[in-house]
Amino acid sequence: MTPQALADLIRRRAENNGPGRFLTALAGPPGAGKSTLAAALVAALGAGARAVPMDGFHYDDGLLIRRGLRDRKGAPETFDAAGFLHLLQRLRVEDEVAIPLFDRDLEISRAGADVVSPEDRLLVVEGNWLLLDEAPWNAARYDLTVFIDVPEAELDRRLVARWAHHGKTPEQARAWIDGNDLPNIRRCIAGSRRADVVIGWG
């Protein structure tokens, strides 16, 4: 399914859904291309569409260090899941909602870095754990769910390139992928609820 075809599906579902915002969950493991596809979807949907990344709810590195979780950054327990669920509720009922964004270059979340406006009705919520069938994540409700299915070997290749871009040596990238990214990939794939739409993203 192309981004345009998925955008057409979202429009049709939203029209049948009645007034209010329409929330599409775009889930998948690390390296699946969620942010890239979310941007393509927003472009295809046009005016009134907005991406809402889950990554803005990363706990700060200082807190993760105090909790002994810095080496597991990106795992479900390293996010403010309750805060994310509260954001989803606010998006349903409030006209204007500030959202946090994660700055990967600085490795920090920036509160209030973007705003969902009253005109933004078609929201593409993207993140690894949107469909995780574990509390509290499984309390989230969406109008359409999409999962990006990418072979593990391709995810590994993409993550090597990602971490090289962010300054890790090949050895550092390999250690991080093996110790953190791959466990998250497998947990996401094995533990996520079945989506309404499953796609491959090249």
Which pLDDT tens digit goes with each residue over 119-137?
A: 999 999 999 999 999 999 9
Q: What does the pLDDT read at residue 163?
A: 86
Q: What does the pLDDT read at residue 19?
A: 87
> What ranges do the domains of the chain cover?
3-199
Q: Locate tokens 């989506």: which residue?
A: 195
Average pLDDT in the chain:
94
- Whether the ω angle into residue 136 lies within 30 degrees of 0, i.e. cis, is yes
Does the pTM of the predicted model rise above 0.85?
yes
Within 104-153, strands assigned E span 108-116, 122-127, 144-148
List, for residues 75-132, the tens digit of each pLDDT value: 999 999 999 999 999 999 999 999 999 998 888 999 999 999 999 999 999 999 999 9
- 3-199 — its CATH code? 3.40.50.300
Integer Rg of the chain from CA: 17
List, for residues 127-184, the tens digit of each pLDDT value: 999 999 999 999 999 999 999 999 999 999 999 998 898 888 999 999 989 999 999 9
Does 202 have pLDDT greater than 60? no
Q: What does the pLDDT read at residue 141?
A: 97
Query: Token pair of 111, please?
Result: 């509160």
CA distance 15 to 5: 16
